[in-house]
Amino acid sequence: MRFAGLLAVLAAACGGGPPPTAGEARAFLDDAEARLLDAWIATGRAAWIQSTYITDDTTAQAAEAQAAVIGLTMELAAEAARFDGVELPEDLRRKLLRLKTSLGVAAPADPARQAELAAITTGMEAAYGRGEYCPEDGGACLSLPEIERRLAEVRDTDELLDLWLGWRTVAPPMRDDYARFVELANAGARDLGFADLGELWRAGYDMPPEAFTGELERLWGQVSPLYESLHCHVRASLADEYGSAIVPPDGPIPAHLLGNMWSQTWANVFDLVAPRRADPGYDLTDLLEDADVDEIEMVRYGERFFSSLGFDPLPDTFWERSLFVQPPDRDVVCHASAWNVDYDSDVRIKMCLDVDGEDFVTVHHELGHNYYQRAYRHRSPLDRDGAHDGFHEGIGDTIALSMTPEYLVEVGLLDRAPPADRDIGLLLRLALDKVAFLPFGLLVDQWRWQVFSGAIPPDAYNEGWWNLRTAYQGVSPPAPRSEADFDPGAKYHVPANVSYTRYFLAHILQFQFHRALCAAAGHEGPLHRCSIYGSRAAGERLQAMLEAGASRPWRDALELGTGEREMDATAILDYFAPLQAWLDDQNAGRSCGWRRG
């Protein structure tokens, strides 16, 4: 901490001198934002290089930059404490709180411990990025994208188990580092006045942390019956395929059978669970291949969608600086992400694209971040963010909901839309992606919050993880697991320290946004057949919400986009209402639910 800042904090603590004023708070924040912006840009540049060219040197440089921004933020947060008892306008009070919560991680005041924390976090992310599975039989080592492709296609349970277990060998070496990370980050959070890092994360939603926890459970309660209906049908279908000895009729589903490394989405088992006449007559991957669409053109489709709503095209630098294809000559973090390196116009995406339907959707998701970033770039630095993190994750997925058959016809990828009697297949495929994800989106941070609070100690990391996965998701490990394992670390967001609740909220909000934007576009008919492509009225409503950034409480931003002031999961129920009726018919006579203990 600078000497003057330390003196100010000490003086305030001792009651010396006149109380600070709102004008002084505004001047402090103006200076703090300018300094933070410089540090954020330097950190972003170092992180981009480290993520797209993983070496010991780039990892060290990223750690140094991260340590610098952690140190500066902690210094400024400590100085801001002198305004805690001052009556301030709401915008200043919110900015002071965002200053404290702007980091995904807090660190102790000691520079050596800050550097240690930065080295741990960048080291864990680099270890994940380098991770691969090398079979004991001497076969070629497999990267995560290669393992994921096999998991999506293989139906042999022994091979599925081998792949599932193989990727989880990358995580145990991170376990001790993660425990140390928790210790250091909690100490930093306490220095800022929070009980632990989890409380710091939950403080960023314009409500008390404990109220936010209740809000999540309220939203989950709205959608959990639909999830349990989907789970019941999928479990019965998998039991038909693999036998009840592998898939118990009243228990959790073994995690390796759901077509995804983390069982977070289930669309890859659609062929095993689909109804008759489920084929809509097209496959998006095949359509892209037939149209000779390459990786760059996939991104162009996303850009054209936003342009149809009235948004400006992406800058030339986006196309020059983004990473679209996995390089053959170096290690990169292939996990898809969107970047705004200069917090102004230098927006980019980083992906190892495949020309397929899944990545076509992911492109639109990542571009949603970039268009949001461009919309609020004129705001002051601490306001250059989403209304809350669920907004940021939900925008691109809202656009993806408009990729209806009618949209594919309009852009020339499909000759004609399938008849309405094929809608159950379309809805089921989407539910295997969107609805299946909901409990996983909730439980990742439930685990971390309990780790941060000490409710799940280091010697119970894996047990706590699987208890939550069984309770919320109805999924079980396919082989015995122990505390020698560290299965949470096999999910990118845990070693990378990326909050995950944002994805749960995004899955709620995208349907709420979609319902409101479809109304603005004048859509009539089933919600799942609505595309807002080409609607300037929907685009104007969306633009107004995005331009607000974090400058207003999220309820105000939500009202700009939807006319509503509370998050509402009933839009999911509206969207999937025909599927719910079909699932009810399929599940008649079945025993639904699962043993949670």
* pLDDT recorded at residue 16: 54
What average pLDDT does the segment 272-300 reach? 90
Is residue 17 very low, low, confident or very high in pLDDT (cuts 50, 70, 90)? low
- Listing DSSP states for 556-597 in one string gives HHHHHHHS-SS--THHHHHHTHHHHHHHHHHTTT---S----
Three-class secondary structure assignment of 342-373: CCCCCEEEECCCCCCHHHHHHHHHHHHHHHHH
* pLDDT recorded at residue 597: 59
pTM: 0.89
Sign of CA dihedral 198, 203, 208, 213: negative
The single-letter DSSP state of residue 418 is: P
Q: Which residues are catalytic?
A: 335-336, 365-366, 369, 393, 493, 503
What six digits make up the tokens of 490?
Answer: 């096999």
Is residue 13 very low, low, confident or very high in pLDDT (cuts 50, 70, 90)? very low
* pLDDT recorded at residue 415: 92
Is residue 7 very low, low, confident or very high in pLDDT (cuts 50, 70, 90)? very low
- Where in the chain are the domains? 3-127+177-203, 284-429+520-561
What six digits make up the tokens of 68?
Answer: 């610098």
Q: Tens digit of pLDDT for each residue in 109-166?
A: 888 998 899 899 989 988 998 899 999 877 899 999 899 999 999 999 999 999 999 9
Instruction: Please state, in angstroms and rounded to a whole number, the distance separating the CA atoms of residues 104 and 313.
Output: 31
Distances (CA, A) of 414 to 92, 309, 383: 51, 21, 41
* pLDDT recorded at residue 348: 96
Residue 218 scores a pLDDT above 50: yes
What average pLDDT does the segment 513-528 reach? 95
What six digits make up the tokens of 67?
Answer: 């340590």
* pLDDT recorded at residue 334: 85
Instruction: Please state, in angstroms and rounded to a whole number, the distance separating the CA atoms of residues 556 and 506.
Output: 17
Q: Tens digit of pLDDT for each residue in 378-430?
A: 999 999 999 999 999 899 889 989 989 999 999 999 999 888 778 899 899 99
Distances (CA, A) of 115 to 122, 169, 182, 404: 11, 27, 15, 49
Q: Residue 253, SS3?
A: strand
What six digits make up the tokens of 69?
Answer: 């921004």
Mean pLDDT for the chain overall: 92
CB 71, CB 87: distance < 8 Å? no
Element (H, E) at 339: strand 337-340
Q: In Å, how far from its chain's centre is CA 279?
A: 30
Q: Tens digit of pLDDT for each residue in 322-349?
A: 999 988 888 888 888 999 999 999 999 9
Instruction: Please state, in angstroms and rounded to a whole number, the distance separating the CA atoms of residues 255 and 262.
Output: 7
